């Protein structure tokens, strides 16, 4: 009897210990949830307040174009920030539940880093920070992996450096590569700043969810504390490594190494005038060296000039001797004048057809008018990559007339093309039609997948150039509509370009769209540049459409 009572007591003690452990876990989870909700309440309300407030101001000044434009710009900024918060929370949820999968596709490292720089440079410019990208150690630009997740890693780390570095500070980003095996490289990425830094105690918790430095210096900086946790989980899932060094008041340095396969997709080498001279006007040692290495490796003869006066003298002599170089590459800095001032002098000296390329970190959209008036023929964006430099140089020296770096222009009139927009939401229809209408393209609308299928079936072959297809719709969803269109017994059924335009934005959604027969994927809210890139790729301007 006594033994039975003792066993019963031990069982009760075990049950109580288990209950206490469960209670502790529940309390810790509750505390974590409370911290998260407290942080998110502030961080979500801040951009929402801006959106609501600026909308009210715009409505009350509806006839004042400049005021409304300013309000819309601020609404756009706040909306982007709010979207990033939502994405962080959803990403963390998917990672923790094991539903996140990595995509494997060919991508251009140059395009990926350029997209990241476009997002990050305005943030650094607002704080007058020196944000510099060093890419001289990149040899393989075309890789295979998950470009969306890789960009997320870079943007999170560099964005944090900008956020936690004081105005006027410095952020240095470096990318290089080293062999990792047959057809594989290690992509080494480091981001060093001279910001507020972190304590050694906090470094042990930096990759935990919802953890943020708690000090007066960062109390007004928005964030969920999820960014670094997401980065760590993504790096781990890619088979990479991440480390961080930091001291309070002395800045931080993040280092990431990721193994990536080299893409063996056939790539066309640009047509260049082998053996010809190219003048490089750049006083910045590192940038000049990188440009000249690219040119020399491609069979050209680069000649470096430190000043505008040297360039003008050299061109004057070359013109007199009838030995003109094939192009002038203008860099970011000159010892004696601004690059655009030199472009204007050279244009007068060398004539209207002489190629002048501007290699710069500037936003082309902001300087395009001044640059083209000064005589710049083409633009090469930085961070500098070999492919962008040589492709642009080829386009202006080989007479192809193509310059993918110059956006817009009268040759982008797609009024001879027709697209089918499949969207059940009237507001989304209006937005998409407005965006597409800017290019002159003819737009027809279907309210669901079944209507889209019927419209395509009743149309002549080749009638639609592109179909923009929503996914979640009544009657018939976008996946089924795409599969039905692909099965039709007509020549254009397999070839018509179908683009998913949907709020389903995860990697699995992209893969599901492709499995259904779609060619591309655009997530909502619609990125205008991405939309225009698809039109440029698939449509021909009216003047040359045959």
| Distance, CA of 394 to CA of 404 (rounded, Å) | 12
Average pLDDT, the chain: 82
In terms of domains, do 109 and 91 share one?
A: no
Domain boundary among 64, 96, 128: 96
Whose CA is closest to 445, among 460, 458, 430, 463?
430
Better pLDDT: 52 or 8:
52
At 81, list the tokens: 């920030």
Global pTM? 0.60
| Distance, CA of 395 to CA of 391 (rounded, Å) | 6
Residue-wise DSSP of 99-111: ------EEEEHHH
Helix, strand, coil percent content, the chain, rounded in steps of 5: 50, 20, 35
pLDDT-derived band at 90, boundaries 50, 70, 90 = low
pLDDT of res. 244: 93
pLDDT of res. 403: 37
Q: Model confidence over 284-320: pLDDT tens digits?
A: 888 899 999 999 988 999 999 988 888 888 888 888 8
pLDDT of res. 410: 43
- 162: number of Cβ within 10 Å: 21
pLDDT-derived band at 487, boundaries 50, 70, 90 = very high
In terms of domains, do 438 and 392 share one?
A: no
- 149: number of Cβ within 10 Å: 20
Predicted confidence (pLDDT) at residue 421 exceeds the cutoff of 60: yes
Residue 437 belongs to some domain of the structure: yes
The stretch 428-438 carries a mean pLDDT of 80
SS (H, E, C) 342-364: HHHHHHHHHCCCCCEEEEECCCH
pLDDT of res. 212: 56
Better pLDDT: 165 or 49:
165
Sign of the torsion formed by the C-alpha atoms of 332, 381, 161 and 243: negative
In terms of domains, do 422 and 488 share one?
A: yes
Residue 413 belongs to some domain of the structure: no
pLDDT of res. 281: 93
In terms of domains, do 92 and 117 share one?
A: no
Residue reference for tokens 């209670």: 23
129 close to 167: Cβ distance less than 8 angstroms: yes
Residue 6 belongs to some domain of the structure: no
Whose CA is closest to 386, among 298, 461, 315, 300?
298
In terms of domains, do 239 and 111 share one?
A: yes
Q: Model confidence over 265-292: pLDDT tens digits?
A: 766 678 888 889 999 999 888 889 999 9
Q: Model confidence over 211-249: pLDDT tens digits?
A: 555 554 554 455 555 678 888 888 998 999 999 999 888
pLDDT-derived band at 525, boundaries 50, 70, 90 = confident
In terms of domains, do 142 and 206 share one?
A: yes
pLDDT of res. 295: 92
pLDDT of res. 65: 87
Q: How many CA atoms lie within 13 A of 185 on its CB side?
A: 18
In terms of domains, do 333 and 232 share one?
A: no
Residue 339 belongs to some domain of the structure: yes
Q: Which residues of 469-483 are buried (b: 16+ CB within 10 A; e: fewer)?
A: bbbebeebbbbbbbb
Lowest mean pLDDT among 4-18, 68-82, 107-121, 513-527: 4-18
CATH number where 224 lies: 3.30.565.10
172 close to 194: Cβ distance less than 8 angstroms: no
pLDDT of res. 33: 59
> The domain containing residue 320 runs over which residues?
277-397
pLDDT of res. 546: 43
pLDDT of res. 40: 59
CATH number where 304 lies: 3.40.50.2300
Number of domains in the chain: 4
In terms of domains, do 433 and 511 share one?
A: yes
Collapsing DSSP to helix, strand or coil, 202 comes out as helix
Residue 336 belongs to some domain of the structure: yes
| Distance, CA of 253 to CA of 243 (rounded, Å) | 8
Within 8 A by CB and 6+ apart from 462, the residues are 492
Predicted confidence (pLDDT) at residue 404 exceeds the cutoff of 80: no
Residue reference for tokens 């809210």: 525
Predicted confidence (pLDDT) at residue 6 exceeds the cutoff of 70: yes
In terms of domains, do 322 and 468 share one?
A: no
In terms of domains, do 179 and 257 share one?
A: yes
Which of left, alpha, beta for 318 (phi over 0: left; psi -120 to 50: alpha)?
alpha
Q: Model confidence over 11-54: pLDDT tens digits?
A: 777 777 877 877 776 666 566 556 555 555 656 766 777 788 88
Domain boundary among 211, 227, 262: 262
pLDDT-derived band at 544, boundaries 50, 70, 90 = very low
| Distance, CA of 23 to CA of 254 (rounded, Å) | 37
pLDDT of res. 407: 33
Predicted confidence (pLDDT) at residue 181 exceeds the cutoff of 90: no
CATH number where 67 lies: 1.10.287.130
pLDDT-derived band at 125, boundaries 50, 70, 90 = confident
Whose CA is closest to 139, among 185, 181, 191?
185
Predicted confidence (pLDDT) at residue 436 exceeds the cutoff of 80: yes
370 close to 347: Cβ distance less than 8 angstroms: no
Better pLDDT: 79 or 405:
79
Residue 508 belongs to some domain of the structure: yes
Residue 405 belongs to some domain of the structure: no
Domain boundary among 210, 228, 262: 262
Residue 407 belongs to some domain of the structure: no
pLDDT of res. 47: 73
Calculate ∠ Cα 46-82-66, nearest 5°.
75
In terms of domains, do 86 and 178 share one?
A: no
In terms of domains, do 248 and 149 share one?
A: yes
């Amino acid at each position: 009897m006594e033994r039975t009572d003792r066993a019963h007591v031990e069982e009760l003690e075990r049950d109580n210990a288990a209950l206490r452990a469960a209670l502790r876990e529940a309390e810790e989870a509750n505390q974590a949830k409370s911290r998260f909700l407290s942080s998110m309440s502030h961080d979500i309300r801040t951009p929402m307040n801006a959106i609501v407030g600026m909308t009210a101001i715009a409505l009350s000044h509806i006839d004042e174009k400049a005021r409304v434009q300013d309000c819309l710009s601020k609404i756009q900024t706040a909306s982007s920030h709010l979207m990033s918060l939502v994405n962080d929370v959803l990403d963390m949820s998917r990672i923790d539940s094991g539903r996140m999968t990595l995509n494997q596709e060919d991508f251009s490292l140059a395009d990926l880093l350029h997209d990241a720089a476009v997002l990050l440079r305005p943030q650094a410019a607002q704080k007058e920070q020196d944000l510099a990208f060093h890419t001289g150690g990149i040899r393989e630009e075309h890789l295979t992996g998950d470009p969306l997740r890789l960009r997320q890693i870079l943007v999170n780390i560099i964005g944090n450096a900008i956020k936690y570095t004081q105005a006027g500070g410095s952020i240095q980003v470096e990318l290089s590569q080293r062999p990792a095996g047959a057809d594989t490289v290690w992509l080494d990425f480091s981001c060093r700043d001279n910001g507020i830094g972190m304590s050694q105690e906090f470094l042990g918790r930096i990759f935990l969810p919802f953890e943020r430095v708690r000090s007066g210096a960062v109390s007004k900086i928005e964030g969920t504390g999820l960014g670094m946790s997401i980065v760590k989980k993504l790096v781990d899932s890619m088979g990479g490594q991440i480390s961080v060094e930091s001291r309070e008041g002395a800045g931080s340095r993040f280092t990431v190494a990721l193994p990536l396969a080299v893409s063996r997709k056939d790539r066309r080498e640009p047509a260049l005038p082998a053996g010809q001279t190219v003048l490089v006007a750049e006083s910045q040692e590192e940038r000049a060296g990188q440009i000249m290495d690219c040119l020399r490796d491609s069979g050209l003869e680069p000649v470096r000039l430190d000043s505008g006066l040297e360039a003008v003298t050299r061109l004057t002599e070359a013109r007199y001797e009838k030995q003109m170089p094939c192009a002038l590459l203008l860099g970011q800095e000159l010892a004696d004048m601004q690059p655009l001032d030199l472009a204007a002098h050279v244009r007068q000296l060398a004539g209207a057809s002489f190629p002048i390329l501007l290699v710069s970190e500037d936003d082309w959209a902001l300087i395009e008018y001044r640059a083209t008036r000064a005589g710049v023929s083409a633009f090469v964006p930085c961070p500098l990559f070999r492919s962008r430099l040589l492709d642009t140089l080829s386009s202006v020296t080989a007479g192809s007339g193509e310059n993918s770096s110059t956006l817009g222009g009268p040759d982008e009139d797609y009024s001879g093309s027709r697209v089918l927009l499949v969207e059940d939401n009237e507001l989304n229809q209006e937005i998409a039609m407005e965006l597409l209408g800017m290019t002159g393209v003819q737009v027809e609308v279907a309210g669901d997948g079944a209507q889209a299928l019927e419209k395509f079936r009743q149309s002549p072959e080749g009638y639609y150039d592109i179909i923009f297809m929503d996914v979640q719709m009544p009657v018939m969803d976008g996946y089924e509509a795409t599969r039905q269109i692909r099965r039709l017994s007509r020549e254009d059924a397999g070839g018509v370009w179908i683009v998913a335009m949907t709020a389903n934005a995860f990697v699995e959604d992209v893969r599901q769209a492709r499995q259904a027969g779609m060619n591309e994927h655009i997530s909502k809210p619609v990125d205008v540049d991405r939309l225009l890139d698809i039109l440029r790729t698939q449509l021909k301007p009216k003047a040359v459409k045959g």
